[in-house]
Structure 1
């Protein structure tokens, strides 16, 4: 093992599991040449699994604790839980100081220990997948700057607007913002406003907040589009088998102006001094 590697491991071991930044480690070396070598040797130690690099770029000795992958769900500003992918494993309690830069919904790797007779406690050591890159929220203007009150996620950081690409925005309006930086040390998230949605009591805005909160896709996947393209545009004899062909009737829907799912329609015809009303229901299984 390289002499620099041994020194790095000793430095991290003496810190008793405390995480150190690259600069904090480099300061313990005297010459510029040694400090320059630290970054290269740290990368080697991380690749061999001897040192862990956390989501915020800090380093620590790789723990002998068990690890697993799950979805992070903060409960309040003090703690949250990692919900394991495997349903056989209990949720893992994670105090706020061990969130490792994770926010609501992120897929994370957590190192954990199970206390005898107590709950399983862990520390997030890696963001496997960042599931949320934007935040919708209500603008809050203060003397010291512009802030965002998140509406689309359980976020307990202070959300600071550092850039506004959407033009003038009034206090109290709902906007959508891109996440620029998450700083656990300052308990702060920096965002840039990219779109103004409108007033918080507007039904359309409420709908967009729900879509953002649950990361509901707003565009069809390539697979879905390919399947739609393969659907025949003509009705065949086999399609009509066991059905009555009523295409000669004038048929209309009664859905709202913005409806996307036309699943029923009506027709009416004059018969024997009266009228017959037809109600057509979509065969969604066809």
Structure 2
């Protein structure tokens, strides 16, 4: 245990009596060589708001109120923000622009409450200390003046522009998108910065895309060290060097992926044994090639996962690995971790075994073709063995799905966007992404694999990384219940369980508001995350769950693979469990953050492309469904998944917002609007910079069809 953990344990002990720094040093029995360092550490801990030092110079633990007033700032586009406390039970606090005290988006801050919470309104606060800046790199638009310039932040994460002296301008021109590093935060006036990258003119192809990538701190290129290591990665499997593996290359094996996929990290095989099914799930053995603490490993951990941006992928691993030696390409020997599961006709995994293996995929199948076969549209294949295996896969998929439904697992059926973008960033079309039985079948096999691996470590009580999904918060459930009532659905009981959510989805299946209810239910849920302890996955209605099946694109899976291989090799006994648990805690927190960051980037790019697509339809009319109503506007989703807002707050008519019913009324004509209602809109304006689409609500018959 290091000194920091030791001090926190001492200070937070219930029998602790406050000591001065001098007394603490004596209690710790620090020798004269480290006293100075420990003293500095204590002062830094106080500065970082981990402990308190009173006016009498005594060290105190933080109380609940102290901890509740430390957290993160989330800025809105209007320049104001909300304080999100480290204490998850503490309500968000409104922070006006004048009370931000130069805090930026995602900065860690300490606040004080200046106005208590009132009915329907958040408490108001003021930032009194910036504990840690989230980033000193900002993406924005450069405006040049004589001898200096200003950078206007893209996403309102700064309430003021950034001053740039000409010597720090990197020869940027007006209207260039740039990355600026803030080098000084004056108490008064604009922050000062230097430009570290010029992305190009704001109207250049894909500059808007790279601006979003940089704003999330993501990289589109690998470091020199990583590239150098990747060059020496072997191009094919040398069977002489892998004699400790089970040879499963004669097993009939297939991969099933999207038509444009290039990295295949999972393959499947199946056999029938009386009434039982023998399912093999083979996962690329990335850990064989990516060694801990190598440059490739460090950069993969830093990225955390691959990020998919339609016309661009930011991979977690270099192409030599992801599309090369790790990809389970057909008719090529590949190293894998193979999970063999014996599953009975009720869907229970009654036995399993894990192998370090060599496999050789017989076919690289595509979802669309397999979907056509399973749906009886077309017999795309001539190989009778392949057809027999596909039928077995389909039979087992239906058994597993039925079992999962029976226990209450929630299967959302909300619409996802299919956005077709060319290399220049031009959006060709937006439609609903179709998921057929083959997509769902592979998903089902990956789910049962992840559960099986999670249960292995859970039953051994050995440290691992888990994927958990906590129960929804009571207030969110209550809000969801109220919205459902406005839609005409009645739910009994105070507390909702996974099975109850599942029943709601069944009730709305095939109805006009199915997509809407799925979306509202998703918003009710907590965010799934990685942790180093066992807890339930509410959405899947399972006790134990992890990520094991995608080590090419997710680092948590790579961590689990390394532990699985240690299990197979009987090396778990050599591991210091306390040290591993501490390491996994840090890993889980970091990887949850990288995942969220990646998802936010993907969402911003999706919004950008939807705006670019709808810009050509300004002035045209479409039918849509009201997806939400706020005190300033009505959000409407079109048939092609594009969402825009009618800002009634700025309309000529007067609207009244009825919060408890989540409806609003146009008081001029007494017309009432509610969630799930079909309306006719006209595309009024598209703001590419802020990625907003403005609609006008129209009266009269619907004449035009959605694009």
Partner of residue 59, structure 1: none
Q: 1:120: Cα distance to partner?
A: 1.1
Q: Given the superposition, is the C-alpha separation of residues 138 and 245 from structure 1 closer, same or farther in structure 2, using an over 3 Å criterion?
A: closer
Q: Given the superposition, is the C-alpha separation of residues 75 and 152 from structure 1 closer, same or farther in structure 2, using an over 3 Å criterion?
A: closer
Aligned pairs for 1:236-251 within 5 A: 236-238=245-247, 240=249, 242-244=251-253
Aligned pairs for 1:123-162 within 5 A: 123-142=126-145, 145-151=148-154, 154-162=157-165
Alpha-carbon separation, structure 1, partners of 2:254 and 2:186: 64
Partner of residue 192, structure 1: 194
Kindly indicate whether the alpha-carbon contact (under 8 Å) linking 1:134 and 1:176 is maintained by their aligned counterparts in 2.
yes
Q: Given the superposition, is the C-alpha separation of residues 158 and 285 from structure 1 closer, same or farther in structure 2, using an over 3 Å criterion?
A: closer
Alpha-carbon separation, structure 1, partners of 2:252 and 2:171: 58
Q: Given the superposition, is the C-alpha separation of residues 76 and 177 from structure 1 closer, same or farther in structure 2, using an over 3 Å criterion?
A: same
Partner of residue 211, structure 1: 213
Q: 1:189: Cα distance to partner?
A: 1.6
1:117-171 per-position Cα deviation (integer Å, ceiling 9, x unaligned):
3531212222222111111212112357411121255222122112544642221
Q: 2:178 aligns with which of 168, 175, 179?
A: 175
1:80-104 per-position Cα deviation (integer Å, ceiling 9, x unaligned):
2112233322111112232233111
Alpha-carbon separation, structure 2, partners of 1:245 and 1:158: 55
Partner of residue 432, structure 2: none
**Partner-residue secondary structure (3-state), 1:146:** strand
Partner of residue 80, structure 1: 81
Q: Given the superposition, is the C-alpha separation of residues 265 and 74 from structure 1 closer, same or farther in structure 2, using an over 3 Å criterion?
A: same
Q: TM-score, normalized by length of structure 2?
A: 0.25
Alpha-carbon separation, structure 2, partners of 1:258 and 1:93: 37
Q: 1:218: Cα distance to partner?
A: 6.2
Of Structure 1 and Structure 2, which has the larger fraction of its residues in strand? 1
Kindly indicate whether the alpha-carbon contact (under 8 Å) linking 2:72 and 2:83 is maintained by their aligned counterparts in 1.
yes
Asked whether 1:95 is paired with 2:110, we answer no
Q: 1:72: Cα distance to partner?
A: 0.7
1:13-62 per-position Cα deviation (integer Å, ceiling 9, x unaligned):
xxxxxxxxxxxxxxxxxxxxxxxxxxxxxx9xx973449xxxxxxxxxxx
Q: 1:258: Cα distance to partner?
A: 7.5
Alpha-carbon separation, structure 2, partners of 1:123 and 1:179: 23
**Partner-residue secondary structure (3-state), 2:106:** coil
Alpha-carbon separation, structure 1, partners of 2:53 and 2:86: 25
Q: Given the superposition, is the C-alpha separation of residues 78 and 195 from structure 1 closer, same or farther in structure 2, using an over 3 Å criterion?
A: closer
Kindly indicate whether the alpha-carbon contact (under 8 Å) linking 1:69 and 1:110 is maintained by their aligned counterparts in 2.
yes
Aligned pairs for 1:1-286 within 5 A: 48-50=53-55, 67-76=68-77, 79-112=80-113, 115=116, 117=118, 119-142=122-145, 145-151=148-154, 154-165=157-168, 167-183=170-186, 185-186=188-189, 188-216=190-218, 234=237, 236-238=245-247, 240=249, 242-244=251-253, 260=319, 262=323, 278-280=363-365, 284-285=549-550
Kindly indicate whether the alpha-carbon contact (under 8 Å) linking 1:74 and 1:104 is maintained by their aligned counterparts in 2.
yes
Q: TM-score, normalized by length of structure 1?
A: 0.55
Alpha-carbon separation, structure 2, partners of 1:203 and 1:69: 42
Alpha-carbon separation, structure 2, partners of 1:265 and 1:166: 47
Alpha-carbon separation, structure 2, partners of 1:139 and 1:163: 12
Kindly indicate whether the alpha-carbon contact (under 8 Å) linking 1:136 and 1:175 is maintained by their aligned counterparts in 2.
yes
**Partner-residue secondary structure (3-state), 1:209:** helix
Alpha-carbon separation, structure 1, partners of 2:247 and 2:132: 46
**Partner-residue secondary structure (3-state), 1:97:** helix
Q: Given the superposition, is the C-alpha separation of residues 120 and 85 from structure 1 closer, same or farther in structure 2, using an over 3 Å criterion?
A: same
Kindly indicate whether the alpha-carbon contact (under 8 Å) linking 1:72 and 1:108 is maintained by their aligned counterparts in 2.
yes
Alpha-carbon separation, structure 2, partners of 1:157 and 1:136: 13
Alpha-carbon separation, structure 1, partners of 2:95 and 2:196: 32
Alpha-carbon separation, structure 1, partners of 2:53 and 2:91: 29
Q: 1:73: Cα distance to partner?
A: 1.9
1:217-260 per-position Cα deviation (integer Å, ceiling 9, x unaligned):
6688xxxxxxx9xxxx84743564744499xxxxx987999765
**Partner-residue secondary structure (3-state), 2:211:** helix
Alpha-carbon separation, structure 2, partners of 1:258 and 1:79: 33
Q: 1:192: Cα distance to partner?
A: 0.7
Q: Given the superposition, is the C-alpha separation of residues 91 and 245 from structure 1 closer, same or farther in structure 2, using an over 3 Å criterion?
A: closer
Kindly indicate whether the alpha-carbon contact (under 8 Å) linking 1:265 and 1:280 is maintained by their aligned counterparts in 2.
no
**Partner-residue secondary structure (3-state), 1:105:** coil
Partner of residue 14, structure 1: none
Alpha-carbon separation, structure 2, partners of 1:89 and 1:238: 55
Alpha-carbon separation, structure 2, partners of 1:92 and 1:245: 53
- What value does the CA root-mean-square deviation take over the aligned residues? 4.9
Alpha-carbon separation, structure 1, partners of 2:132 and 2:199: 27
Of Structure 1 and Structure 2, which has the larger fraction of its residues in helix? 2
Q: Given the superposition, is the C-alpha separation of residues 170 and 239 from structure 1 closer, same or farther in structure 2, using an over 3 Å criterion?
A: farther
Q: 1:193: Cα distance to partner?
A: 1.1
Alpha-carbon separation, structure 2, partners of 1:88 and 1:204: 41
Kindly indicate whether the alpha-carbon contact (under 8 Å) linking 2:147 and 2:166 is maintained by their aligned counterparts in 1.
no
